[in-house]
């Protein structure tokens, strides 16, 4: 069965456990992104070793290649990608809007052409539910629409109301699937009244969890935190709250402080491939020449393989030489850092010392990277 057990709060920050038939998810949780049935440059057992309890898969990418029906025939997404723990899939709505070509939006859904081969497809709430079921997703997201910000209030309101009608259709199409969860998605941009209207509509329908959508789409951290000051409190207290597509370490800390339980972002894995490492002292650009003679690890307190066994000089060399191990090591380090961040916050909330933890987090980052050799 699917359940959420809220174990402790500290201010508006929360910690708890989501229980699913495929295992427990400790919250606040960070979900690495496995877009094409892989977290790029990582073996699934390595992803697990960083401390991840759950992965995110992308409906849009998987429906186009290799196809949801094919994955279903091959035993479902968990078996296909060799990850037996929980998987959350997005609905495809956001990525259709950001990646697909020749999109046409109607009340029924969206028709579009694939960005891979130009083939024509349709996504509707019903088809999105079907695809996520074929994949075998543990946490299914409602099909929604999200305008890019800035957008005027009328456009945001119209889009939000369409998403609420689609939320009802998603709920109806999802049906009753014990052990699987369906999350609704709050929309409404940065407008409080619209966020309230959206939360009321979703709560009336009733979901296993609630996402805060339509943020981290270019509005900036201040505006995002402005919405997070009130939006989580509009959603049912006894259900997980998921902030989609966030974010940088300081975004994550600010979101958890404001009552968010789950997050996902490509940042740690994507940055790992572009030579950027997240450390407690901020971002390190490993391609910088200052590292070429540096025998010290990226972060001497980090216990990941990149920091335990390799120098900055080596990481610099393999990045500059475009060796595959560069992406492997930096992605592992970054995912490890993000999971350690979550673990630190879970412990701090459980012991009611989140404010002190947050102060140390910001003070360490403010120091900047260690002095060059």
**257, 258, 333, 346: which one binds Zn ion (CB under 5 A):** 333
Residue 368 marked in a binding site: no
Write down the residue that tokens 């335990």 correspond to. Answer: 308
Report the residue number, 156 or 307, with the smaller CB distance to Zn ion.
Answer: 307
Pairing type for strands 181-186 and 209-212 reads parallel
Pick the closer one to Zn ion by CB: 316 or 333: 333
C-beta closer to Zn ion: residue 94 or 278: 278
Cβ partners under 8 Å of residue 327, min gap 6: 40, 41, 272, 273
Whether 264 sits among the annotated catalytic residues: the reply is yes
CB of 302 to Zn ion, least distance (A): 3
SS3 assignment, position 361: helix
Half-sphere exposure of 318 (CA within 13 A, CB side): 16
Please give the Cα distance from 78 to 137 (Å, whole number).
8
The interface mask with Zn ion, positions 243-272, x = CB under 5 A, is: ------------------------------
In whole angstroms, what is the distance from residue 122 CA to residue 128 CA? 9
265 is in an annotated binding site: no
Cα 220 from Cα 216, distance rounded (Å): 7
Q: Does 307 bind Zn ion (CB under 5 A)?
A: yes
Q: Does 304 bind Zn ion (CB under 5 A)?
A: yes
Residue 214 is labelled as binding a ligand: yes
Find the part of the chain contacting Zn ion (CB under 5 A) among 54-62, 154-162, 214-222, 302-310. Answer: 302-310
Q: Which residue has the tokens 């977290």?
A: 39
10 is annotated as an active-site residue: no
Residue of 53, 138, 208, 264 with catalytic role: 264
Between the CA of residue 75 and those of 67, 181, 262, what are the distances in Å? 13, 20, 27
Among positions 64, 302, 335, 341, the unique one binding Zn ion when judged by CB under 5 A: 302
Nearer to Zn ion, 39 or 302 (CB): 302
Nearer to Zn ion, 135 or 341 (CB): 341
For β-strands 29-32 and 262-265, DSSP reports them as: parallel
CB 35 within 8 A of CB 266: yes
Active-site residue identified among 10, 53, 90, 299? 90
| 335 binding Zn ion? (CB under 5 A) | no
Which residues does the annotation mark as catalytic? 90, 264
The residues of the shown chain that bind Zn ion, judged by CB under 5 A, are 302, 304, 306-307, 333
Binding site residue list for Zn(2+): 302, 304, 307, 333
């Amino acid at each position: 069965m699917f359940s959420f057990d809220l174990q402790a709060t500290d201010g508006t920050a929360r910690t708890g456990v989501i229980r699913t038939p495929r295992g427990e998810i400790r919250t606040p949780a960070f979900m690495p992104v496995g877009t094409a049935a892989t977290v790029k440059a990582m073996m699934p057992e390595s992803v697990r070793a960083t401390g991840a309890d759950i992965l995110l898969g992308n409906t849009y990418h998987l429906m186009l290649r290799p196809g949801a029906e094919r994955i279903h025939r091959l035993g479902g997404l968990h078996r296909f990608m060799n990850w037996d723990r929980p998987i959350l899939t997005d609905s495809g709505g956001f990525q259709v809007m950001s990646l697909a070509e020749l999109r046409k939006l109607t009340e029924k859904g969206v028709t579009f052409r694939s960005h891979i081969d130009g083939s024509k497809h349709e996504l509707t709430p019903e088809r999105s539910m079907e695809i996520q079921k074929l994949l075998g997703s543990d946490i299914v997201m409602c099909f929604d629409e999200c305008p890019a910000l800035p957008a005027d209030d009328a456009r945001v309101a119209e889009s939000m109301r369409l998403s609420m009608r689609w939320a009802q259709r998603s709920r109806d199409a999802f049906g009753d699937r014990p052990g699987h969860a369906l999350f609704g998605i709050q929309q409404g941009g940065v407008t409080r009244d619209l966020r309230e209207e959206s939360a009321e509509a979703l709560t009336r329908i009733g979901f296993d969890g609630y996402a805060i959508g339509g943020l981290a789409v270019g509005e900036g951290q201040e505006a995002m935190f402005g919405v997070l000051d009130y939006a989580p409190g509009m959603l049912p207290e006894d259900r997980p709250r998921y902030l989609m597509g966030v974010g940088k370490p300081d975004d994550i800390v600010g979101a958890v402080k404001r009552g968010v339980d789950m997050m996902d972002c490509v940042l740690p894995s994507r940055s790992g491939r572009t030579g950027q490492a997240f450390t407690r002292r901020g971002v390190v650009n490993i391609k910088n020449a200052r590292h070429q003679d540096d025998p010290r690890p990226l972060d001497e307190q980090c216990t990941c393989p990149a920091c335990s066994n390799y120098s900055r000089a080596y990481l610099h060399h393999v990045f500059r030489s475009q060796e595959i191990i560069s992406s492997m090591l930096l992605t592992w380090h970054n995912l490890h850092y993000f999971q350690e961040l979550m673990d630190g916050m879970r412990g701090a909330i459980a012991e009611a010392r989140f404010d002190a933890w947050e102060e140390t987090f910001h003070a360490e980052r403010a120091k900047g990277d260690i002095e060059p050799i």
